[in-house]
Amino acid sequence: MNGCLAVDKPAGMTSHDVVARCRRALAERRIGHAGTLDPPATGVLVLGVGRATRLLRFAENHDKEYVAEVVFGAATDTQDATGSTIAEVDATGLTERAVADVLPTFTGTIDQVPPMVSAVKVAGERLYKKARRGEEVERAPRTVQVHAIELLWFEPGPRARARLRITCSKGTYVRTLAADIGAALGVGAHVATLRRTRVGTWDEAMCAALEDVSPERLRPMADLVAGYPRRDVSADEARAVVTGKRLREAGIEGPYAVWGPDGLIAMAEDHEGGMRSLCVVSES
């Protein structure tokens, strides 16, 4: 069983919980996901099944879109609603115009310090494990791309609220983005709810409810690498790729999908005058 699908992850489950449920529903052990969603978050979780798991690292590189509800006037130690409040300010004076005006300063190439509750490794250990022990360690900033932030809705008050649509690169922490926006406005903020609405070409309309996952919902594994450049090869060249032989350069910058007469064969890149396979998904 080889293919992929998107699941609408419900709140309260880890991404691994979703994978475990799908393994039972599909009777297939080889299932993985492209891009973790925290337990409180909902929305698009892209899964690879069988040989398609080899393509998940390429699917993770796609841009993502989120809708976040942000509460101003309260900062938490986790930067979301699951944490403890560490600072409070009356946000009554905050206006929709002030929020709208500050958002462009957080678009483009920005640096983020990963939250202590993230899965980033420091000294060989996930940060969230250190956080559970009450530890706080220094984290190096990471550069990410925030393509757009749209203010969808604003409600004033002591705990003003806003709904934001955010389009960003892999590795962007929306909770950190919200906390930084709140700090820039002088009132602090945290994410109350978070929903991922798109991963690359996968959107909410393409998602299956968890209880509806079945073999019939699987899509071709090539959908995981939609958007990457394509290189078409002959049947003889396809056999060469499967057996580990190098082909001539394609003249394509970065990773590309290699297609033979029978479909997707591999992901590859040009390297030192030839083509280097990054992963092979065809077995013949």
> DSSP characters for the chain?
--EEEEEEEPTT--HHHHHHHHHHHHT-S-EEEES---TT-EEEEEEEEGGGGGGHHHHTTS-EEEEEEEEESEEETTSBTTS-EEEE---TT--HHHHHHHGGGGSEEEEEPPPTTS--EETTEEHHHHHHTT-------EEEEEEEEEEEEEE-STT-EEEEEEEE-TT--HHHHHHHHHHHTTS-EEEEEEEEEEETTEEGGGEEPGGG--GGG-B-GGGGGTTS-EEE--HHHHHHHHTT---B----SS-EEEEETTEEEEEEEEETTEEEEEEE----
Among residues 38, 80, 180, 270, the one annotated as catalytic is 38
Q: Is 38 a catalytic residue?
A: yes
Residues belonging to the active site: 38
